[in-house]
Amino acid sequence: MAKKTILDLDIGIDDTMALMEALENPELDVIGVTTTFGNVSQATSQKNALDLTDMFGHPEVKVYPGAKHSLTDDEVYETEEDLWEIHGKNGLGEVVLPESAREAETTEAVDFLAQAIDEYGDDLTIIATGPLTNLALLEQKYPGKLKQAGNVTIMGGAVGVQGNMSPCSEANIVTDPEAAKIVLEESGAPINMVGLDVTMRVMLDRDRVNEWRKLGEIGDKLADVVNFYIDFEEKETPGLGGCSLHDPLAVAVAANPDLVTMVPLDIVVDTEGEMRGRTIGNVKTLRSSENPVNVAMMVDADRFEKQLNRDIQNIIKAAEAK
């Protein structure tokens, strides 16, 4: 039976692919999307969630408004101009999609998460591919609630490789390390951490992306979206020929954990100084058998890349047919 699944997204380009993988993966039954900030503002993430779920033929997937800023900020988060080159100002590489006629739900993300955990318990999977603010707010409002979920899979962190925002920090974690500390150190939730250790090992190349154009107008638009991301990654790493697959890999691991090899670690999140945003194993508890975070360290890249490309093509075909 497919796992009841909530996606917690800051919808940029790789989140878009993550949403497609979640909607198409037979192991997952997406019951809602909670939105947050990160790649874009929460408001833009919310709009993208509504537009994309409609375009993919899944208007039954409701969208719930979440955190607008980190735990330590008071002002609404907006991406700065120097970040627009990664996902575009609209989070979709400046590609304009048909606008959804739907509105987001009036229930806040935190309350929806709590209600879903109460209803589904061990049968619920939560996949978070942005900053962990919504999950931390859940813990603050409903202490102990997160550990009642069956699984929490996050895209974030870097344990054995350099970070992508500083030598030691990954973007989702460093955007709100105080939230990450609550979730990873204090919640006791059953967590799979899918970080740069594995997401940098998988790639989608431009030739595969351009194959989507043969599938119709939706495929053409999505190829434009993802090629924007590839352009940025090739600028950063000349000759790369594609883009890393951070968020969609987290979704695939939530559905099929055997895609990766995991190491159990008691993860510590640094919140101060030069190491702010670092995620690292606690050396004092390495001998303990009660390490709450399973950290992905190796991935079957070929299997995943083929699976993602197949699922993306299938959801485009289905959407074009509607």
> Model confidence at 12, in pLDDT bands (50, 70, 90)?
very high
The C-alpha atoms of residue 44 and residue 26 are separated, in whole angstroms, by 28
Q: Is the pLDDT of residue 210 over 90?
A: yes
Separation CA 227–CA 202 (nearest Å) = 16
- The average pLDDT across 110-125 equals 98
Digit-coded pLDDT (tens) for 272-306: 999 999 999 999 898 877 778 999 999 999 999 99
Q: Given this model, what pLDDT does residue 102 score?
A: 98
* Catalytic annotation present for 58: no
pLDDT of residue 287: 84
Residue range 72-89: average pLDDT?
Answer: 93
pLDDT of residue 237: 87
Beta bridge partners of 4: 29, 124
CA dist., res. 6 & res. 170, Å (int): 23
Q: Is 311 exposed, middle or buried (0-12, 13-18, 19+ CB in 10 A)?
A: buried
- Stretch 49-69: mean pLDDT, rounded? 98
Would residue 246 show up in a list of annotated catalytic residues for this protein? yes
- DSSP characters for 146-206? GGGSSEEEEE---SSS--SSSSSB-HHHHHSHHHHHIIIIIS---EEEE-HHHHTT-EEEH
Radius of gyration of the chain (CA): 18
Residue 101's CB: how many other CB atoms inside 10 A?
Answer: 8
Catalytic residue among 58, 69, 87, 246: 246
- Predicted confidence at residue 2, as pLDDT, reads 96
Give me the residue label for tokens 């500083």: 166
Contact 55, 161 (CB under 8 A): no
Q: What is the pLDDT of residues 94-110, one digit of tens each?
A: 999 999 999 999 999 99
Q: What is the pLDDT of residue 215?
A: 97
Identify the pLDDT of residue 218. 97
pLDDT at 80 over 90: no
**Lowest-confidence pick of 42-51, 143-152, 238-247:** 238-247
What integer is the mean pLDDT of 133-144? 98
In the chain, pLDDT over 90 holds for what percent of residues?
Answer: 93
First and final C-alpha spacing in the chain: 26
Q: 3-state SS of the chain: helix, strand, coil percent to 5?
A: 45, 20, 35
Sequence-distant (6+) residues with CB within 8 A of 294 are: 191, 192, 193, 262, 263, 264, 265
Residue partners of 32: CB distance under 8 A and separation at least 6? 6, 7, 61, 62, 63, 64, 112, 116
Domains of the chain: 3-321 (3.90.245.10)
Cβ distance 283 to 322 under 8 Å?
no
- pLDDT of res. 23: 98
What pLDDT, on a 0 to 100 scale, did the predictor assign at position 84?
A: 93
Q: How many CA atoms lie within 13 A of 153 on its CB side?
A: 26
Q: What is the pLDDT of residue 286?
A: 87
Give residue 1's pLDDT band: very low, low, confident or very high (50, 70, 90). confident
Q: What is the mean pLDDT of the chain?
A: 96
Q: What is the pLDDT of residues 182-207, one digit of tens each?
A: 999 999 999 999 999 999 999 999 99
Q: Which of 8, 10, 197, 270 is catalytic?
A: 10
Residue reference for tokens 């460093």:
174
What does the pLDDT read at residue 239?
83
**CA–CA dist 198, 122 (Å, integer):** 26
User: Quick one: tokens of 7?
Assistant: 């996606």
Residues 203 and 305 sit within 8 Å (Cβ to Cβ): yes
* Structure letter (DSSP) for residue 212: G
Which residues 6+ apart lie within 8 Å of 204 measured at CB?
Answer: 17, 226, 230, 242, 243, 245, 305, 308, 309
How do residues 213-254 score in pLDDT, each as one tens digit? 999 999 999 999 999 999 999 998 888 889 999 999 999 999
What is the SS3 assignment for 260?
Answer: strand
